Structure 1
C-alpha cells in the first residue's frame, strides 16, 4: 500500500496515554556522512523526507488523537492466551495474566529510523503493520525458543498499572461499571522469582535488538523490506500475511544468531511432514532443530466463515500456538487469545520514536504493551497466518496431534489446513494444476476444486 495514496491507522500517543505531537517528528538525516551530494539530489532527498513526515502526520490526524482505551473483561468467564487460561475473578490469576501479557514483545510503527534502501522513508507509519505483526509472531516463537518456560518480564509488575476494567457478571452485556475498589498498590520489592529471572535480561535485550529499526538488525524492518524485494515488494507497499511469512523464513535462515531454529511455511494450506522433518534433521549431537511453522490461510470470502471461529479458539488454546497475524482488511493485528466472542490482540498502529538499541540499558517500556485490547470475532479479516513452535522432535509430534484434534472442530466444512505425510510436489509449468488460479485440496481421498480468482491476497480460499 503506497503511503502517498492510502493510509493505515497510526495511534500516535505517548506512553502515558496522551496524544503525541506529530510536529516533533525527527528531522535527523540518517544518510551516509562525509559524502558530497549534489543540490538536486539533496533537494530530492529533502522532499522525500518531508513527504514521509507528512504521511505520518496525516495518519495521526486522520486516525489518531484518541486516548488509549481500556479493555473491559468479564469476571464470569476465563481469558485464554497462547495456551494458558486465566480466571480473572481470582486476584492472583488476574495478576498472572497481566504480567504474562506485558511480557509479550510489542513491535509497532516507528519514526526517525535510518533511510530504507532505495527510498527516502524514515518511518513505516501507514504501510508496515503486517511486517510489524509478523515480527511479533516471530518474537513469540523466540521467547519460547530462548526463554525458560513461564518466563515473564522481571520488571513488568512495577510498570503495569491496573489498566484492565473488570466487569461484574450481571453487567457483562453492557460492559458494566468499574469495580468499586481497586486492588491495593503492589509492593516494589523484587520477588525471588524476579531475582532468578535477572540472568535472562541480557537475552531479553538481545532479542529486542534483533528487531531494531536499523540496517544491521537481522530481523529489523530494513532487513525485512530488503528480503521482500524478491517477492516484488518495496518499502511503502502492502505486504500480505502470506508474503510476510516467507520473508520471516528467509530472515531466520540468514541470521547467524539463530543456528538451531528454522521456519517452515505451509504451502497450499498443507503442512508436508516429510519436508518439515528434512528441514529440522541435522547431525548429532543435537539431531533436531527447533521449528516455527507458519500457515497462511484464508478463512472465507470477505468475512470470516463462522464455522472456523471455534477452530481458531481451539488453536489459540494450544501451548504450541504462537499467535495469529491478520486483523481487519489492510489493518493487521497480532491475535494472542480470546474471551468469549472477542479476540485479544496487540496493535502495531501506534507510531513511536525509534529506540537506539546499541546503547547500554536502552529503555524497554516501548517494546511492551500495558493495554490488553479486544475485538469481536465478526470483525476479523479472513486472510491470516497462524504460527506454531516446536522445540524438538518429540514436541513436533505432539504439535501435530494437538493441532489435528483442534482442526476437527471445523466439521462440516473443509479444514483450515491439513497435514500430509508426503512432500510437496514441485509444480510443472503448463500442467493443469497451475492454470486458471485453481488449487486442489485433498481431504479423506476427496479432491476439492477451489477457485481463488477472487482472493484479495495470495491465499487459498477455503
Structure 2
C-alpha cells in the first residue's frame, strides 16, 4: 500500500537512468555530477555508483516490532503509526555521530566485518531504555514538550527533545564520572517566544560560543556542535520563496539534512537534485535486530536502505528541522559565513539569520502592543504564514 501511494503521489526512486536526467546530486554536503551528456556515460555511471554507495551508507532507522522493549506503563511494544518523527530525528542524530566518530567520507562495506565504532552508534539507537538514544529515552527527555508514547510530535518539539537529551546526558556523565554518550553540544536556533511567533530565527554566535566553551572539558577550547533549526516555512505548503535557500543547505559541508518531509508523515531528507528531494523513509516496519560492539559479524542490513526515494521539494511539509554538525570553531565560523551569504541572497526572505549577539528582550508590558503593530492590516496569502 505504501508503494502504491508513492506511485499515486509521484514519489519515485532513483535508478542510473533517471538520476542522469540532471547535472548534480547533492547529498549532505557532497556533490555527484551526473550528466545527461552523451559523451560522459562512463563518468555519469561512476558518479551514480558513488552517490548510491554514499546513500546506502547513511543509517536508516525505521519502525520496529518483535523484540521492542515495552514503553513504560503504556505496554506499547512497537512505534508503528506514530514514531516516524522520532525515527527521522534518530537518523539525523545518527548522521551527526557518524560524522563525529567515523567521518563524512565513511562508507559501509557489507563484505567486511563491522567496526566497533560503527556498531556502537547503531547500538545506541536500540529499542530499550539501556540504549541512550532509544525512543524510550527520547520520550522521557521530551515529556516536558508534550511527548508521549503513541502520539505524534512536530519538528520543534523534536529539536527541544534532542537538546534536553544532551543536557541530561552531560549531567549524568558528570554525576557518575563516566564518558558522555553524546560527544557534542546541542543548540536550537529559534525565534522569539520559543519559536512560536514565526519570522526568521536568529543564530546567535555569542550564545553558541558560550555553550561550546562550557560544554567541553577544561582542556578543550571548543566542543563539537549539533545545531538544529526548526522552521515553519508556510501554511499548507512551503512558500516558494524559501525553496532556493532550502535546496542550498544540502550543499553546506556541515549539512545533516532535514527532519520533515511528507505532510503528516515524517521522513529524513538527505539530498537534492534539481527540484527533487532524496529521502530515507522510516515507515518500514522491521523486526528488532540486537547490535553489540562485540559481534563484528552481525547483519546490519536493516539499518541501511538500498532504495533512494525522491519527492518534489515543493511538496514537503512546511514544518521541518534542518541539522548541521560542526566539529570545531573553524567549521562553525564557516557555517555562519555560508548562512549569512544565503540570507543575503534570499531576496528579503531568509530562513534564518546570523547575529553576533542576542537582541535585548522586549518589555513584557509592551509585547502585545508590539505584536499588534507588527501585523499588517491587510496581508497577502503568501505572507500569512508569518503570523503563526
SS at match of 1:118: helix
CA-CA distance at 1:356 after TM superposition: 1.6
Distance 1:301 1:216, change over 3 A: same
CA-CA distance at 1:357 after TM superposition: 2.0
Q: Partners in 1 of 2:47 and 2:365 — Cα distance?
A: 56
Q: Give the aligned partner of residue 410 of structure 1.
A: 346
Q: Partners in 1 of 2:104 and 2:121 — Cα distance?
A: 16
Q: Partners in 2 of 1:351 and 1:114 — Cα distance?
A: 15
Distance 1:460 1:332, change over 3 A: farther
Match of 1:84 among 26, 30, 53: 30
Distance 1:124 1:294, change over 3 A: same
Q: Give the aligned partner of residue 71 of structure 2.
A: 116
Give structure 2 stretches of 5+ with no counterpart.
35-40, 170-178, 192-200, 378-384
Match of 2:213 among 258, 268, 281: 281
1:263 aligns with 2:186: yes
Q: Normalising by structure 1, report the TM-score.
A: 0.68
Q: List structure 1 runs of 4+ shifted beyond 4 angstroms.
A: 61-64, 424-428, 435-439, 447-451, 459-462
Q: Partners in 2 of 1:208 and 1:80 — Cα distance?
A: 25
1:344 aligns with 2:278: yes
CA-CA distance at 1:312 after TM superposition: 1.0
Q: Normalising by structure 2, report the TM-score.
A: 0.81
Q: Partners in 2 of 1:448 and 1:308 — Cα distance?
A: 21
Are the equivalent residues in 1 in contact too, given 2:6–2:12 (CA < 8 A)?
no
Q: Name the one with the larger helix percent.
A: 2
1:421 aligns with 2:356: yes
CA-CA distance at 1:417 after TM superposition: 0.9
Are the equivalent residues in 2 in contact too, given 1:310–1:409 (CA < 8 A)?
no
Are the equivalent residues in 2 in contact too, given 1:110–1:352 (CA < 8 A)?
yes
Q: Partners in 1 of 2:386 and 2:281 — Cα distance?
A: 26
Q: Give the aligned partner of residue 103 of structure 2.
A: 148
CA-CA distance at 1:70 after TM superposition: 3.8
Q: Partners in 2 of 1:450 and 1:335 — Cα distance?
A: 35
Q: Partners in 2 of 1:259 and 1:338 — Cα distance?
A: 28
Residue-by-residue CA offset, 1:244-289 (whole Å, 9 max, x unaligned): 0111112233334346411000121121211111100146422110
1:400 aligns with 2:345: no
SS at match of 1:410: coil
Distance 1:327 1:140, change over 3 A: same
Distance 1:223 1:259, change over 3 A: closer
Q: Give the aligned partner of residue 168 of structure 2.
A: 254
SS at match of 2:208: helix
Q: Give the aligned partner of residue 153 of structure 2.
A: 239
Give structure 1 stretches of 5+ with no counterpart.
1-8, 12-60, 159-189, 191-197, 440-446, 452-458
Q: Give the aligned partner of residue 308 of structure 2.
A: 372
Q: Give the aligned partner of residue 36 of structure 1.
A: none
Q: Partners in 2 of 1:390 and 1:400 — Cα distance?
A: 11
Higher relative contact order (CA 8 A, sep 6+): 2
1:136 aligns with 2:91: yes
Distance 1:271 1:331, change over 3 A: same
Q: Which moved more, 1:82-91 or 1:337-346?
A: 82-91
CA-CA distance at 1:84 after TM superposition: 1.2
| Alignment coverage as a number of residue pairs | 344
Q: Partners in 2 of 1:320 and 1:249 — Cα distance?
A: 18
Distance 1:257 1:208, change over 3 A: farther
Residue-by-residue CA offset, 1:413-438 (whole Å, 9 max, x unaligned): 4311111221365687x5443x5995
Residue-by-residue CA offset, 1:375-406 (whole Å, 9 max, x unaligned): 01221111110111111111111110012212
Q: How does 1:24-423 map to 2 (within 5 A)?
A: 70-71=13-14, 72-88=18-34, 89=41, 90=43, 91-112=45-66, 113-155=68-110, 201-255=115-169, 256-258=179-181, 260-268=183-191, 269-282=201-214, 284-358=218-292, 360=295, 361-411=297-347, 413-423=348-358
